[in-house]
Amino acid sequence: MRRVLFVCTGNICRSPLAEALLRDRVERRGITTIETDSAGTHADHMGEPSDQRMRSTALGHGVTIEHNARRVTSSDFARFDLIVGMDDGHMRRLEQMRDGRPVELRKMLEYHPTYAGDGHAPDVPDPWYGGMRGFEEVYEMIDGAIDGLIEELIES
Ligand code: 4NP
- Cβ-defined contacts of 19-25 (< 8 Å, 24+): 19/65, 19/67, 20/58, 20/63, 20/64, 20/65, 20/66, 20/67, 21/58, 21/63, 21/142, 21/143, 21/146, 22/146, 22/149, 22/150, 24/62, 24/63, 24/64, 25/146, 25/147, 25/150
Nearest CA to ligand 1 atom 9: 10
Closest ligand 1 atom to residue 11 Cα is 5
- Distance between CA 20 and CA 30 in Å, rounded? 15
72 CB-side CA count, 13 A: 30
Number of domain units in the chain: 1
Give pLDDT, residue 5. Answer: 98
Give pLDDT, residue 140. Answer: 98
Boundaries of domain holding 106: 2-155
Give pLDDT, residue 156. Answer: 76
Under-50 pLDDT residues of the chain: none
33 alpha carbon – ligand 1 mean position (Å): 30
Give pLDDT, residue 77. Answer: 98
Nearest CA to ligand 1 atom 6: 10
* CATH number of the structural domain spanning residue 106: 3.40.50.2300
Angle at 90 between CA 23 and CA 150, to 5 degrees: 30
Q: What is the pLDDT of residues 63-88, one digit of tens each?
A: 999 999 999 999 999 999 999 999 99
